[in-house]
Amino acid sequence: MKTIKGPGIFLAQFVDDKAPFNNLKDICKWSAGLGFKGVQIPTWDSRLIDLKKAAESKTYADELAGIVKEAGMEITELSTHLQGQLVAVHPAYNELFDGFAPEALRGNPKARTEWAVDQLKLAAKASNNLGLNAAATFSGALLWHTVYPWPQRPAGLVETGFKELADRWLPILNEYDANGVDLCYEIHPGEDLHDGISYERFLEATGNHNRACLLYDPSHFVLQCLDYLEYIDIYHEKIRMFHVKDAEFNATGRSGVYGGYQSWIDRPGRFRSLGDGQVDFKAVFSKLTQYNFSGWAVMEWECCMKHPEDGAREGAPFIQDHIIRVTEKAFDDFAGTGSDEAFNKKVLGI
């Protein structure tokens, strides 16, 4: 068994134009002061990273790592969630997702997709230059508008959708393979990869590509009423990243999984700061440790109530307290009687 690394923090929700959140050096110092040991960097935010430069210049990548190291931390992974979303966008969502792309590309879906694919490939090279072995992303979605089968889905629609999704991602996955990096899809509502079955469909459509891996975040499964512990039992061999995020689901007689179009604070399913929701993190950390997960436990703060700085301040010790330092000996070694092959045969009566 291996001891999970951490605590880490995903910086996306904390970056701001105000100090100390407006540059990598200061936000790392702030994070380290709270007890975090690693930072996950959103590659779309130029206040933290120049992705193209990190992909093309090992010197610049080393400088980035040096800034983080100076604060006593490590870079855990790079994130391309927003760019990954744009690899596959159904036209119904064009305007809503245009804000994820540079202004010059808005209103031009073809150019936007080409930019997104290039961004993913740059992140593969940047991850390699930084010495990282995993990266996070979203899959995007062509089928999400049909997630509820009314009107009835025509025969073959799902198969065609996943084939197209796989065709778009295969060149990207090959680039990650060439750079020795696992691409970890965050399984998330709004993505075509939103549960185990949809991930399996995608994996099959890619020819079981060895770099098509998983980012495990139990909060999204609480909101779907999916068994987030059995999920680890089923997919542990593909889990390469871990977002520590809490959630709760409190169904009512008026609203359930779909939330009735309500705001986050009023939805039955909502994200909470660590320890304030319903995720059994003792069981989650135990299962991941049992299956030799060797990556980082990275806090992703999303809460409809608590201030983000309070969530971060509480998050580092919460994760630290849940990381299991694995034992180097069996608890019953004191009662061992020793053995050799002859002794074993004698015990067996042979």
Q: Quick one: pLDDT at residue 330?
A: 82
Alpha carbon distance 239, 187 (integer Å): 11
Count up the domains in the chain and report the number: 1
Sorting pLDDT into bands at 50, 70 and 90, what band is 335?
Answer: confident
User: Looking at residues 18-35, what average pLDDT do you find?
Assistant: 98
Residue 225 Ramachandran class (φ > 0 left, ψ -120 to 50 alpha, else beta): left
Beta bridge mates, 242:
216, 297
**Using CB atoms within 10 A of its CB, is residue 114 exposed (0-12), middle (13-18) or buried (19+)?**
middle
Contact 272, 303 (CB under 8 A): yes
Q: Quick one: pLDDT at residue 182?
A: 99
List all residues 6 or more positions away from 108 whose beta carbon is below 8 Å from its beta carbon.
Answer: none
* pTM for the whole structure: 0.96
pLDDT tens, position by position, 195-215: 999 999 999 999 999 999 999
Contact 123, 43 (CB under 8 A): yes
Q: Quick one: pLDDT at residue 338?
A: 78
Q: Quick one: pLDDT at residue 99?
A: 97
Contact 3, 320 (CB under 8 A): no
Sorting pLDDT into bands at 50, 70 and 90, what band is 74?
Answer: very high
pLDDT at 328 over 80: yes
Alpha carbon distance 296, 55 (integer Å): 23
Q: Which two tokens stand for residue 30?
A: 């702030």
Contact 47, 15 (CB under 8 A): yes
CATH of the domain at 325: 3.20.20.150
For residue 18, what are the domain limits?
A: 5-348
User: Looking at residues 242-262, what average pLDDT do you find?
Assistant: 97
